[in-house]
Amino acid sequence: MSKYMYEHTKMPPYLLMPRFLLNCPISNTAKLLYIQMLGKVQLSQKNHWLDAQGRVYFIYPVHQMSVDMDKCETTIKTVMKELIDADLLEKIQEGRGHPNRLYVLFPDEEVGQKSDVGKTTGVGQKTVSNYGGKLTASKYKNKNKNNNNPLRDYDYDEKESF
């Protein structure tokens, strides 16, 4: 049963979300995993888990991530690759039989902020085409090169049916 919040209501446990994640071009699952990892790295920070360079690392097995996030291990591996590609996570392999060391990374301060020309800068920004799928078979492609409409690629001869 839900309860209202009153002046002295104790907050339930929660995780903080950094603002830069709002405009970060990664999946929502990647954002949630990153937030989950921030909680783990804070615990490592309290326990003084530091490498030789003084950087805080943490160990978080893929199996445990999948249980915590209620996702399959394949999804977790895909999302971790997404975080690594976006420069938000670094994974250092410690060798066979040893767990990987994970490092949470933060983007530069100006990344994800509005630039002076009004365009948003992003972490590993991706471009997405507007075609909505694969092009049709070659005999239906636009034969008129002057038509620059990429959504109209279905010209056909008079006797053909589409």
Q: Residues 68-91: pLDDT tens digits?
A: 999 999 999 999 999 999 999 999
Domain stops at, among 104, 120, 140: 104
* Confidence band, pLDDT 50/70/90 cuts, at residue 11: confident
Q: Are 125 and 23 in contact (CB under 8 A)?
A: no
The total of structural domains in the chain comes to 2
Q: What is the pLDDT of residue 97?
A: 86
Say whether both 93 and 140 belong to one domain.
Answer: no
Q: What is the pLDDT of residue 110?
A: 55
Which is more confident, 137 or 54? 54
Q: Are 101 and 92 in contact (CB under 8 A)?
A: yes
Tell me the average pLDDT of the chain: 78
Kindly tell me if the per-residue pLDDT of 118 is higher than 50. no
Amino acid at 46: K
Say whether both 89 and 151 belong to one domain.
Answer: no
- Where b means 16+ CB within 10 Å and e means fewer, 117-142 reads eeeeebbbeeeeeeeeeeeeeeeeeb
Q: Supply angle C-alpha 100, 49, 41, rounded to 5.
A: 75
* Confidence band, pLDDT 50/70/90 cuts, at residue 117: very low
Domain stops at, among 89, 104, 119: 104
Residue 161: inside a domain, yes or no?
Answer: yes
pTM of structure: 0.64
Residue 53: inside a domain, yes or no?
Answer: yes
Say whether both 47 and 98 belong to one domain.
Answer: yes
Give me the domain span that covers residue 149.
131-162
Q: What is the pLDDT of residue 95?
A: 87
Residue 9: inside a domain, yes or no?
Answer: no
Kindly tell me if the per-residue pLDDT of 24 is higher than 90. yes
Say whether both 153 and 93 belong to one domain.
Answer: no
Say whether both 87 and 136 belong to one domain.
Answer: no
Q: What is the pLDDT of residue 27?
A: 96
Q: Residues 121-154: pLDDT tens digits?
A: 445 444 444 444 444 444 444 444 555 555 444 4
